Structure 1
């Protein structure tokens, strides 16, 4: 977050909006020149305006300052399309970073990255607006004790329990059920616990966003949920900041409303991808596999703000797309360090027709500990994992030689493992129209 001291150094004065002009347009990257001593601070929002002329419509877009490039110029990233924008257009410094409406007025509404409603249901008359760039809670404000969050999903509650106020990663390739699992969690938390949720759609399919909105309206879950969308068709600047917008809404409910909030982010990989696009547009040298050099810093700026405090908690469930099912890719690897539990969705389990396709051996939880979940729960979970691990080891023998070649003890293990697999699957409320199961 930009401090007042930094603003003084750049000469920015929020009471008198500084005006400049566009000097260069490179896609969504716009360079603007300001009078000497009136340079906007880094992360300030600037408004770019251009009147209609000929076939070009009137332009009024917001951009975020990313770099000071010398000669009284700043490099900004536009949060909307720059089609038709030309040099000489007016640029007005807002004197602050992007601010979004917060509070109960946002519940049941769908917002964009700037906090503007995009659900055609009128304006949001919120009492307060908060900046999207904020500091993480201090060490002394954070809560360190663990508490289990019941999800109503058997395989998760038994083998990878979610901590309240923790960060959970849903790992999986394309089409293994990450979004469906998130929708089920939203439904269960709202219906069974009456909890508030914030859903941030980061660079995902517009159709999925539309389906989610309609499903939530139908199930009345939307009354306890705020949604912010920056989908695939949006510029990279929007996809990079939409996660921070959703997080800011959740922080208000935690810090002011003193509530336990669920923050769903779908998809963290698209957040990283947007950061890589912005980094390339700004001319930074790429690092491993073409990702941005500040990947770890960018990830931490989002993740460190997601935590439990003495007043409330934010529990984050983040879908993380794994490129080519490679968990060593820098994008999923960068998120591992921040997570308290990981739920890995496996294509091999999808091929068996078992849903949710949670891999019980690859998935982990920091709180699967007898001191937290209890001795009985811990022992049952470990025994289930032992049986499933033994079954996995026997599968090659079964495939080559058949069940008949196994010892009687191994046949019992296989029988138990198959029963456990079926027990850990369950029909989802949100997938009822596809599965036919109520």
Structure 2
């Protein structure tokens, strides 16, 4: 606190613009004076609290206070910097921090080496490159049917307790085998949820390549509002300055939208649909469009926004907003979840608009065969309910569909490389009623072992032939 007061006095002595607080409503502060100053400038109150400029006019300046307690009328405020920035650097990796850069993990002060603007402008079209490199997730249902490429913006949408956070965490943890930095953004979560994620990352060994930015339900609304922008800014630093791939998980943008709605209503903004302000679409589009792939270094920033669809209604206002911004979505179905299938990704509602570019022609062909096999399975399942005698073809559709669903069913923490997934799926699709396959866990273990033998001297086709021969599968 003493350091903050010393910094305040130093800024005043330097002749920075100064103003006086004339009105306070929770975190919304009106200040007389402080001109000249621009929107999104950072300011410092005389008690050490920081804030940023929301709007300016000739009579007063509107400021959002970022402190845990309201500032007092009559307090003095001084301009701190022209832009709202966040500390960045390699020292943030492996840390749990707040959006204001305060450590939350008892590992000492942050070793930041630079700063980066929180509300940065997205790269222009001529600076970007076509997305075509697959981002492996270790989840067969995703990698095979609804792949994501590096630099893509893909939403994870579903009802409460449907596995959205679990799937996002699975994707993030699998990146520990790459050079990518994964940034988890937890917006207005319970402290228990934050602790659970950090513990999971530590056990998996992923925290050493991750950054967790978290706010709880008790933190300032303004701080929670800034959280995804801070996460994106840190991701941009590694992407654009350090030439590393970055993956940013926003969990979740529904809470973020509700926080922004409350902030806007308190600050006097006219409400629109569902009481959200008119710029609710812009605050998310300006955030997500910052993802992509740069032409100059061929590195990427991938965005995975998590969105709540209450009651499974993906046609609601917020889900449709995010769907129209992103390049695809994984829809998690509550009915599929109740059946015990994990992750509960709906094969009929989910779509990836650019993810197919990361697939080879062979992988695209296999994806098509999976979709046809699952469709035939659902149809055969309907026929089986009538109790009539089933044809040989229908029985085979039921058999293949049952095995496929068992293979695509993965518990949290269970991950398989892409080649192991392909060995499994192609073997099952080419099997017949006479094929003697082992139980699923043994089959997965064998596929994983065989995939490790694929090298320049032993091609995928050679290993696939050996794997099929082991179980008497032809083709």
Q: TM-score range by the shorter chain?
A: 0.7 to 0.9
SS in 2 for 1:417: helix
Shift of 1:69: 4.7
CA distance in 1, matches of 2:365, 2:105: 48
Residue in 2 aligned with 1:263? 248
Residue in 2 aligned with 1:434? none
SS in 1 for 2:40: coil
Conservation of the 8 A alpha-carbon contact between 2:22 and 2:30? yes
Conservation of the 8 A alpha-carbon contact between 1:200 and 1:264? yes
Conservation of the 8 A alpha-carbon contact between 1:115 and 1:245? no
CA distance in 1, matches of 2:181, 2:64: 32
Residue in 1 aligned with 2:46? 49
Residue in 2 aligned with 1:5? none
Conservation of the 8 A alpha-carbon contact between 1:168 and 1:339? yes
Conservation of the 8 A alpha-carbon contact between 1:14 and 1:94? no
Shift of 1:15: 5.8
CA distance in 2, matches of 1:204, 1:375: 42
Pair 1:407–1:171, CA change in 2 (3 A)? same
Conservation of the 8 A alpha-carbon contact between 1:168 and 1:318? yes
Pick from 294, 299, 313 the counterpart of residue 284 of structure 2.
Answer: 299
Residue in 1 aligned with 2:258? 273
Report the TM-score when normalising by structure 1.
0.86
CA distance in 2, matches of 1:48, 1:406: 77
Shift of 1:49: 3.2
Residue in 1 aligned with 2:55? 67
Pair 1:14–1:294, CA change in 2 (3 A)? farther
Rg: which structure is higher?
2
Pair 1:406–1:290, CA change in 2 (3 A)? farther
Conservation of the 8 A alpha-carbon contact between 1:361 and 1:385? no
Q: Give yes or no for the alignment of 1:166 onto 2:152.
A: yes
Summarize the alignment of residues 21-36 of structure 1 with structure 2, pairs less than 5 Å apart.
Answer: 21-34=20-33
Deviations 1:158-188 (A, max 9, x none): 0001111111111111111111112222221
CA distance in 1, matches of 2:36, 2:61: 7
Q: Give yes or no for the alignment of 1:404 onto 2:388.
A: yes
Q: What residue ranges of structure 2 are gaps of 5+ in the alignment?
A: 1-10, 416-443, 446-475
Conservation of the 8 A alpha-carbon contact between 1:183 and 1:430? no
Pick from 269, 283, 300 the counterpart of residue 313 of structure 1.
Answer: 300
CA distance in 2, matches of 1:63, 1:430: 44
Q: Give yes or no for the alignment of 1:420 onto 2:404.
A: yes
Deviations 1:387-415 (A, max 9, x none): 323444565665xx544365554343333
How many equivalent pairs are there?
405
Q: Give yes or no for the alignment of 1:129 onto 2:115.
A: yes
CA distance in 2, matches of 1:15, 1:354: 63
Shift of 1:277: 1.4
Pick from 156, 166, 171 the counterpart of residue 180 of structure 1.
Answer: 166
Residue in 1 aligned with 2:134? 148
Conservation of the 8 A alpha-carbon contact between 1:202 and 1:271? yes
Pick from 328, 338, 350 the counterpart of residue 341 of structure 1.
Answer: 328
Conservation of the 8 A alpha-carbon contact between 1:206 and 1:231? yes
Deviations 1:313-368 (A, max 9, x none): 11122211112321112211111122223111111111111111111221111235
Shift of 1:272: 1.5
Pair 1:362–1:64, CA change in 2 (3 A)? same
Residue in 2 aligned with 1:355? 342
Conservation of the 8 A alpha-carbon contact between 1:99 and 1:115? no
